[in-house]
């Protein structure tokens, strides 16, 4: 740990991360197409002096709309709305390198950076969802190797276009995937250009993050795994001539908070009762690339599910999520002498590959402090179970605890996201 304060972003996943977020929120389904809804979440986050507003993207139907409406609006449109409703909050949008054009994306995000006064960042990801591929006219999603080959060049091209805006120079990019000559019509934003975030957990994703990213959205379930991943990415960064603090490691943290521990547990159980075990079985099975429905819930967890993938490059889902969950379940099996059941696994890991904390505000603050001080995280991407209540209790009850412990700011002191994240190398490179 070398940063003075923890970084805290809120990851706005439609009505919340919980599969029962619609019921927990008490909001109508069409809320997810309301600009006022997203703007209000931004105002709550800014009231808590959070660092940034983070949006995922998936240009296809992914959730069961009978249970969860899914995020329906395009990310940069939402972020422009949030920018108008806030003055300091960072704006991080996920946009795929698989299904976008680098020139159009560079101009779109630099425009958002100008309009927001230097608060924008791009979460660069590849897309593995076959449904999204079909929407873009593909019969199959490109292989992992193909996606990351394109992603590396895509990020380089966008970065060159942004740096050309700062330097006032044309670029001449000729690569395997893109040929680009010229420059954007925009000049530099107040922070030079948007930051880059990366969310891939595969070896290829970590390499891309260490080489290019200002922040990494990671998925780690245990403190030991968090420390290991933290060091891996920091070492990759230094191997590319960057400082360790040039890339912030920000694991996802699912929060289910009550005023007391018992209240938080009751909130969690209410959501589970709403969904039933089949939902969690299917969600965990999708992460592990194995159909878990035929197995008995109260039998020991089937060892074959955790076996190494025969062809990791052909695996279409997230390797980072799978690695995180396989390690977590393996640890539990070892700790129980092989008596760990499938029912226990879905209760603990049915939310996917991110760490989950169920508890009172003090317990949530304890987890954040432990990971930050142990060198497992520079901060977190917070994933409340449901909006807006899950964010409000964090802002009103967890943030004051972190402030008393000297871990979080009392007010904003920087005007741009780059200054807040403390990217010294980037500030020097983009100074105008």
The answer to the question of whether 179 is labelled as a binding residue is: no
The answer to the question of whether 148 is labelled as a binding residue is: yes
The 10 Å CB-count burial string (b at 16+, else e) for 293-303 is eebeeeebbee
The 10 Å CB-count burial string (b at 16+, else e) for 141-170 is bbebeebbbbbbbbbbbbbbbbbbbbeeee
Are 154 and 178 within 8 A, CB to CB? yes
- DSSP, collapsed to helix, strand or coil, labels residue 222 as coil
Taking the CA atoms of residue 42, residue 77, residue 377 and residue 150 in that order, the dihedral angle to the nearest 10 degrees is 180
The answer to the question of whether 30 is labelled as a binding residue is: no
Q: Around Cβ 49, how many Cβ atoms within 10 Å?
A: 19
DSSP 307-371: SPPS-GGG--S-HHHHHHHHHHHHHHHHHTTT--BHHHHHHHHTT-SSEEEEE-HHHHHHHHHHH
Q: Around Cβ 176, how many Cβ atoms within 10 Å?
A: 9
CA–CA separation, 114 and 120 (whole Å): 9
Q: Which residue has the tokens 């779109």?
A: 108
Query: What pairs with residue 181 in β-bridges?
Result: 172
Where do the H-state alpha helices sit in 350-430? Answer: 361-374, 389-393, 399-404, 417-421, 424-430
CA–CA separation, 390 and 73 (whole Å): 21
H helix count then E strand count, the chain: 17, 11
CA–CA separation, 215 and 402 (whole Å): 21
Q: Which residue has the tokens 């964090």?
A: 394
CA–CA separation, 338 and 212 (whole Å): 41
The answer to the question of whether 389 is labelled as a binding residue is: no
Exposure on the CB side of residue 415, measured as CA atoms within 13 A: 8
Q: Rounded to the nearest 5°, which phi and psi values hold at 398?
A: -85, -45
Q: Which residue has the tokens 């980072």?
A: 320
Q: Residues within the annotated binding site?
A: 57, 94, 148, 202
Q: Residues within the annotated binding site for FMN?
A: 57, 94, 148, 202
């Amino acid at each position: 740990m070398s940063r003075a304060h923890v970084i805290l972003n809120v990851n706005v996943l439609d009505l919340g991360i919980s599969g029962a977020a619609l019921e927990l929120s008490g909001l109508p389904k069409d809320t997810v197409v309301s600009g006022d809804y997203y703007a209000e979440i931004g105002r709550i986050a800014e009231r808590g002096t959070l660092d940034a507003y983070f949006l995922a993207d998936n240009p296809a139907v992914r959730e069961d709309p009978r249970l969860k409406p899914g995020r329906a609006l395009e990310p940069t449109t939402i972020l422009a709305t949030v920018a108008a409703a806030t003055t300091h909050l960072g704006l991080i949008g996920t946009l795929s390198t698989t299904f976008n054009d680098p020139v159009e994306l560079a101009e779109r995000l630099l425009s958002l950076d100008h309009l927001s006064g230097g608060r924008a960042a791009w979460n660069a990801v590849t897309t593995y969802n076959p449904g999204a591929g079909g929407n873009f006219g593909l019969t199959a999603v490109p292989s992992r190797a193909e996606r990351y080959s394109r992603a590396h060049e895509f990020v380089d091209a966008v970065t060159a276009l942004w740096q050309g805006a700062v330097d006032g120079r044309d670029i001449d990019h000729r690569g395997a995937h893109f040929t680009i000559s010229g420059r954007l019509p925009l000049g530099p934003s107040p922070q030079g250009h948007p930051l880059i975030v990366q969310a891939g957990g595969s070896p290829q994703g970590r390499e891309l993050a260490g080489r290019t990213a200002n922040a990494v959205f990671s998925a780690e379930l245990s403190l030991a795994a968090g420390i290991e991943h933290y060091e891996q990415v920091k070492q990759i960064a230094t191997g590319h001539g960057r400082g360790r603090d040039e890339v912030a490691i920000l694991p996802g943290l699912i929060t289910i908070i009550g005023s007391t521990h018992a209240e938080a547990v009751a909130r969690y159980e209410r959501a589970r009762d709403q969904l039933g075990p089949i939902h969690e079985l299917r969600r965990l099975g999708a992460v592990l690339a194995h159909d878990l429905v035929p197995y008995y819930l109260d039998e020991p967890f089937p060892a074959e599910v955790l076996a190494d993938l025969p062809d990791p490059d052909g695996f279409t889902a997230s390797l980072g999520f799978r690695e995180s969950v396989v390690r977590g379940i393996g640890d539990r099996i070892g700790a129980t002498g092989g008596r760990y059941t499938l029912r226990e696994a879905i209760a603990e890991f049915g939310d996917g590959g991110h760490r989950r904390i169920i508890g009172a505000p003090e317990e949530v603050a304890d987890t954040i402090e432990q990971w930050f001080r142990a060198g497992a995280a520079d901060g977190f991407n917070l994933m409340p179970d449901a909006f807006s209540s899950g964010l409000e209790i964090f802002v009103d009850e967890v943030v004051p605890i972190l402030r008393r412990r000297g871990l979080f700011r009392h007010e904003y002191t920087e005007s741009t996201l780059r200054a807040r994240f403390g990217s010294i190398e980037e500030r020097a490179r983009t100074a105008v």
